[in-house]
Amino acid sequence: MAEPTTLRLVLAISSALKMNINHLDIKTAFLNGEIPENEQFFCSPPPGFRVPDGMGWLIKKDLYGAHQSGSIWAKTFHAWMHKHYPQYVEAGNERCVYVMQESEELALINLDELRGLKIEKNGKIIIMIMKTDDMLITYSDNARELVDSFEKKLNNSFEATPRFKIEHYMGMHVLYNKQKGHSHSRRATPREWLYQSHGSGSKFGR
């Protein structure tokens, strides 16, 4: 999954280009993982289920706790993106970072060409990062409908939380002022983290 430095870089780029920064979660992400046909995964049944000695259950879907759960889910999502959104380009070695940029004429822009840190006039840009079950989505204002459509299709395949403006992400507190184009991220303080995790009504949030 994406490295912390990649997350900070995308936040910095989104700030410089005055992009929207949203976040959503894939619910029970690992359970959506499709185990490849050339691999077999067996496990013992839970207490109360009887099977003959020496037998077990053949698992067809991924499970939490398995050593390859993260890898299987990443491959499943990667295949889903290639099937439904082939226009999104993987960002170099970061196979869980996807970028799509269109010109005013709706033509896809070749991202391998060095163009500097800019958006074409009336162009659209979307950057998505999948980190385990957390998805960070940044996009230009005129790409909102594309992101809305993506979110709808995502929920047709996987159940996800509603998309919302980012404030806390992966232990970072994000401050964002779109008018000034300024974004600052820092590690949340222990009190902020406890407040976020347990709420103001708990003894931790008081």
**Which whole number is the average pLDDT over 57-82?**
82
pLDDT-derived band of residue 48, with 50, 70 and 90 as boundaries? confident
**Quick check: 195 pLDDT over 70?**
no
Domain spans in the chain, listed from the N-terminal domain onward: 4-166, 167-206
CA distance linking residue 94 with residue 139, whole number of Å: 18
Burial (CB count <10 Å: 0-12, 13-18, 19+), residue 62: buried
**Which whole number is the average pLDDT over 175-194?**
60
**Quick check: 114 pLDDT over 90?**
no
- Residue that is written with structure tokens 């430095």 in the block: 5
CA distance linking residue 23 with residue 52, whole number of Å: 47
* Tokens at 145, concatenated: 């409908």
CA distance linking residue 90 with residue 97, whole number of Å: 6
Contact 184, 175 (CB under 8 A): yes
CA distance linking residue 164 with residue 126, whole number of Å: 16
pLDDT-derived band of residue 36, with 50, 70 and 90 as boundaries? confident
pLDDT-derived band of residue 61, with 50, 70 and 90 as boundaries? confident
Tell which wins on pLDDT, 26 or 38.
Answer: 26
pLDDT digits (tens, 9 = 90+) for 10-21: 888 888 888 899
pLDDT attached to residue 29: 86
pLDDT attached to residue 200: 54
Q: What percent of the chain shows pLDDT beyond 70?
A: 76
pLDDT digits (tens, 9 = 90+) for 139-158: 999 999 999 999 999 999 99
Closest C-alpha among 169, 160, 165, 163 to residue 188: 169
Three-state secondary structure of 43-93:
ECCCCCCCCCCCCCEECCECCCCCCCHHHHHHHHHHHHHHHHCCCCEEECC
Query: Which range scores top for mean pLDDT: 61-75, 80-94, 111-125, 178-192?
Result: 80-94
